[in-house]
Each structure stands twice: as structure tokens, then as C-alpha cells.
Structure 1
Amino acid sequence: MICKFQRTIKREITIKGIGLHSGEPVTLKLIPAESYDGINFIRNNVLIPARIEYANGFEFSTSLSREGQSVRTVEHLMAALYFTGIDNLFIEVSSEELPILDGSSILFIEKIKDAGIVSLNEEKIYAVINDQITVSDGDKFIKGRPYEGFVATFQASYNNKIIGNKMYRYDSTVKDDFLNVAKARTYCFLEEIEFLRERGLAKGGSLDNAVVFKGDTVLNPEGLRFEDEPVKHKVLDLVGDLYLLGMPIIGEIYSYKGGHRLNASFVRKLIEESKFDVKYASEVIDSMSGLNAKISS
């Protein structure tokens, strides 16, 4: 979906919950912004732009920091903002970590849609990938290439019968495909929980906000939302991290076993090697064949 104009929300939204890793209560206030304001977090009166330049923590989530203030686990909200086409927003955070809610992005999206989305007067800006690009870490890698639209694929490789080598390909031009990704919850293995808590993580985790595997068994009474929910959630994380470029991408992204750190490395390499062109929505639409360009205001 190509949105022609920049977007924000119609009215302020308040969202309350707990942090997945901190276990602390947190209140978010999502506040409408003007064209070209971008997406910005505010913590203790410090503005932290949702840009890769401020990303400095990738241990089981993505964190942003500036002037001694940090916000953690931003990827689920960032994915929700991408899926709803929000370019400009101020996000006041009462605690260091964003609320985990149900472990996916869908509740953020529902809150944003309930508040209403408004188009602004200025054209939306896109990052159009202009060449092939690859980042790797051992056997993990992420590849990008030019494409008429936005596609993000995650390929897993687990010694686990449920996840195994499953793959999911999100295509922004497919109607409502974003719901398949947005509803997918974060997950972990039971044997990881003690390790995480020893490191001060997962203090707020429960079966209400994460899928927990014990070997090849799902411990959540309701089971999985999708047969391939874990890989769909990895696509969600990828989309959220990619949005730290500061604008939506036009291109095809393929991730093999990638995580937050590799996602960030990919975005940084895109910038450092100038592997994308900045274009207004009208330029993107004009350059496409029309087969993949579905246009929204």
C-alpha cells in the first residue's frame, strides 16, 4: 500500500501496561504531530527520535537512547506505526520500557484506529532501495534488493518441530496481510526463562503476553494463533526495526535467522552505502508499473 500523504493520529491516546523485561508498570501517551516532525519518544522531557542513530541496545529487544534517557522494546509499537502508515507522532513514556500488552502489535493498532488517522498536507516520503545489499553475522544474514512494493520475509532454522524451518513472506500489497503479522506474539523457550531472569530480563513475561515452548509443546492453553506464529512475529520485529530508518522502505527484504542486532546493522548499512533513494509518494507511484502500486490517501 502506497500512502500519498503523511499521517498522524486525530487525538491523543493513553495506553497502559507492563514492560516485558522490566516488569514495571508503564503509561504511554501518543500525541498528534505535524508534517516532518517524525516519530519521537519523550522520556523525562528528553526527545528521543525513533531513528537508527539512537538505537544502541539489542538484547532480546530494541532500545533507543539519548542524553542519558532510554526507551526499550520499541519494535512492536514501531511495527504498528508502520502498518497504520503513521509518520509523525510524539510518544511520552512514563517508564523505560514500552508496554508489552499481549506480546504482539495488534492492540497498538486497534488503539490507533480507534483514535482515528488523519492525512496531513505534505507528501509521504519513501526509501526506495536502488541496489542489492547484504549484511551477515556467521550463518545469519539479511538481504535487500529493489522491488515494486514492500516485501519482508523471515526464514527460521530451529531444532524444534513446531518452528523448524518455517518461513513467512509479508507483502504490503496483499489486502490485510498485515493482520497476519500484527497478531503474532513474541515467544521464548521455557529453558530460556531462567537465563533471561538471571540477566534482569523477562520479569513481566507470562502466558498472557508471550508464547512459551517446552520442547515441542506450546504451554499456552489457547495454543498458537497461527501455525507459523513464531516466524510471523519475527517478521513483525523486522518491520518494526526497519522503520527506524525514519521512512517506509520500497524494496524486498529477506532475513535468514536475523534478530534485532542484525536488523539494525542492515538499516545502518543502507544509510552508509547509500543503497536507497529518497522519493516522494508521487514519484514512487509514477515509477511503478501499477501492478503492485495500491494507493491510499
Structure 2
Amino acid sequence: MLCIKQRTIKREVEIKGIGLHTGEYVSLKLYPANSYDGINFVRNGTVIPAFIDYATGFEFSTTLSKDGINVKTVEHLMAALYFTGIDNLFIEIDAEEVPILDGSAIQFIDRIKEAGIQILSDEKLYAVLKKEIKLKDGDKFITGKPSDGTFITYHAHYNNRIIGNRKYTYSNLKKDFENIALARTYCFLEEVEYLRKNGLAKGGSLDNAVVFEGDNVLNPEGLRFEDEPVKHKLLDLIGDLYLLGFPLIGEIYSFKGGHRLNASFVRRLVKEKAFEVKYSTEIDIFNQGQLVA
């Protein structure tokens, strides 16, 4: 039987930058943790577990809160932790928002790799979907169903020539996560005034976001891939799904979903007990050698 172990990092690492929405300079420190500690943010002495019960805000990002203390825009870092297989970590932050860096997750992944990945002695746990769940909000929806592997699809549908009607699937049967991790956040120029009036995007620039004006990309370097926007929405979805507390095994399909729908879907999975938490040695697909750990 294949026994996959839990992971943390080998040493402390610091990441600095500005918050996309607050515009505040922030220092983030990642610290190793023990088995079963889980992923936890620490701000002003308050420990906020990276778990769906603490997700409170979804306006253009995902916010975690506890005892009146907030940590905003956690989704890119959460996706980076998912992709690097980190189960246990303490994240100390000295401001309200996780730094946006270049607008993707790749720089978080690079720093995690620099810190080194520590394999712990205890076996890794997974959330294995055991029944089908569908959540709808107008024309937007997310479905989840049992599967012999992890398949997460995002389907974007925009009246825009560049983004258009596209979908992309992440599967950990193939190791293409860095392709997704490079995809940057984006917005439309006409949204910027709304965001600024509502106290958002104070730290936004062409250095950390792709900006569209109609069918044109304003960033001088253009897109990293022609389907970069849909890959970024998939990145956000993966980060939000990791608020389940465990990596997910199942098939997820999101049509036009955003952070609020993502969080509602994760809550539904928990409420309806739609998954079983299992060790790697209890999961057939690992023992058949089908799944990339």
C-alpha cells in the first residue's frame, strides 16, 4: 500500500509585498508546523484556521475572520499550499491582507520550495467525495461528484473576444499545476472605478493584475497564455476548495462561479457530509498507482 505522509516546510520563510485591495505593505512569515496542526493564519496574536467556518468575506477575494480580526485575499496562497502538498503551517501576517505579489500563485510556490518541504511522520488525509452535490446561483453553478481522481474544471463565459467561452481542467493525474499557478488575477478597466469607490484595488497595478479594456489587454507584455483568465479563475477555485481542510478527491465543475459560490459549495459539502476523510492507504486509486500525490 502506498502511504503518503503529511507535509510542512523545513524552515521559516518571509514574503513581503502589498495588498491588492488595501494597498498596505505587508510581511508574511511561514513557519513549520506539526502533523494535524493544519494551516493557520496568525494576526495580532489571534490564530485563524484556514477552514470554511472562518470564511466571512467574498468581495473580489476570500476573507477569513475570527474575534474581529481579518485576513483577506487568502486564495492564491491557499492554492500554492494545495499545489505543494502542504498540510500543516503557521502563517504570521502583520497587516490585513495577504500580499498580491505578481497576481498569481507562482511566487508563493517558489518561496515554499526555497524553504524546503518537510515530510512528517504521520499519514496524509484526504476528503473523498461520496455523493453528488450541485449548488446554483442564477446562471452560475458548481457540481461535485465522486471520481477516481481529482478533476477540477472552471468554465468561463464572457462577452469578450479574448476570454470568451472557455474551460480548463486541473487533474492531479497530470502535473500541470505550475501552468495554472502562473495565471494572474484580472479585471476590466470599467470595474476599476467601482472598486476604488468601494475601498478596493488600492494596491492594484499592471504589475500585479491583467487589465482588459474591451477586447484589448492593457498590460504591455500581454497575457502569459491565451487562456490565462480562465486558468486564474481555476486557481481561485482550487484555493477556496482547500478551505475544506483537506485535499479533495472528486470531480468538480464550476460554471461562472466566484468566491462566494465557491465558499457556499464548500459549506454545502460539510453540511451534507458529502465526503469521507480517509488516509492515503485507505484510498484505492493511490494503491492502483493512478494518482499523483
How far the C-alpha of 1:288 sits from its partner, in A, is 5.4
Which residue number in structure 1 is paired with residue 276 of structure 2?
277
Q: How does 1:91-240 map to 2 (within 5 A)?
A: 91-175=91-175, 177-240=176-239
Q: In structure 1, what residue type is equivalent to 2:126?
A: Y
Residues 206/3 of structure 1: CA separation in 2 closer, same or farther (3 Å cut)? farther
- Select 1:290's aligned residue among 282, 288, 291: 288
Distance 2:287 2:234 in 1: 26
Note if contact 2:280-2:286 (Cα within 8 Å) is conserved in structure 1: no
Which residue number in structure 1 is paired with residue 28 of structure 2?
28
How far the C-alpha of 1:181 sits from its partner, in A, is 0.7
Distance 1:172 1:217 in 2: 33
Other structure's SS at 1:156 match: strand
How far the C-alpha of 1:68 sits from its partner, in A, is 1.1
> How large is the RMSD of aligned CA atoms in angstroms?
1.2
Other structure's SS at 1:224 match: coil
Q: Say which is worse superposed, 141-150 or 14-23, in terms of deviation.
A: 141-150
Residues 167/287 of structure 1: CA separation in 2 closer, same or farther (3 Å cut)? closer
How far the C-alpha of 1:293 sits from its partner, in A, is 2.2
Note if contact 1:163-1:231 (Cα within 8 Å) is conserved in structure 2: yes
Which residue number in structure 2 is paired with residue 60 of structure 1?
60
Note if contact 1:148-1:288 (Cα within 8 Å) is conserved in structure 2: no
**Which whole-Å deviations, capped at 9, do the CAs of 1:24-83 have from their partners, x for residues lacking one?**
000000000000000000010000000000000000000000011010000000000000
How far the C-alpha of 1:294 sits from its partner, in A, is 3.2
Q: In structure 1, what residue type is equivalent to 2:185?
A: T
Note if contact 2:172-2:292 (Cα within 8 Å) is conserved in structure 1: no
**Which whole-Å deviations, capped at 9, do the CAs of 1:102-123 have from their partners, x for residues lacking one?**
0000000000001100110110
Which residue number in structure 2 is paired with residue 265 of structure 1?
264
Give unpaired runs (5+ residues) of structure 2.
Answer: none
Which residue number in structure 2 is paired with residue 14 of structure 1?
14
Identical-pair percentage: 68
How many pairs align?
292
How far the C-alpha of 1:135 sits from its partner, in A, is 0.6
Note if contact 1:33-1:89 (Cα within 8 Å) is conserved in structure 2: yes
Q: In structure 2, what residue type is equivalent to 1:232?
A: K
Other structure's SS at 2:229 match: helix
Other structure's SS at 2:157 match: coil
Q: In structure 2, what residue type is equivalent to 1:33?
A: A
**Which whole-Å deviations, capped at 9, do the CAs of 1:84-103 have from their partners, x for residues lacking one?**
00000000011000000000
How far the C-alpha of 1:287 sits from its partner, in A, is 5.0
Distance 1:61 1:124 in 2: 28
Note if contact 2:5-2:123 (Cα within 8 Å) is conserved in structure 1: yes
Q: In structure 1, what residue type is equivalent to 2:66?
A: R
Note if contact 1:8-1:32 (Cα within 8 Å) is conserved in structure 2: yes
Note if contact 1:154-1:167 (Cα within 8 Å) is conserved in structure 2: yes
Other structure's SS at 2:250 match: strand
Residues 289/39 of structure 1: CA separation in 2 closer, same or farther (3 Å cut)? closer
Residues 82/11 of structure 1: CA separation in 2 closer, same or farther (3 Å cut)? same
TM-score, normalisation: structure 1: 0.96
Q: How does 1:242-253 map to 2 (within 5 A)?
A: 242-253=241-252
> Where does structure 1 differ by over 6 angstroms across 4 or more consecutive aligned residues?
none
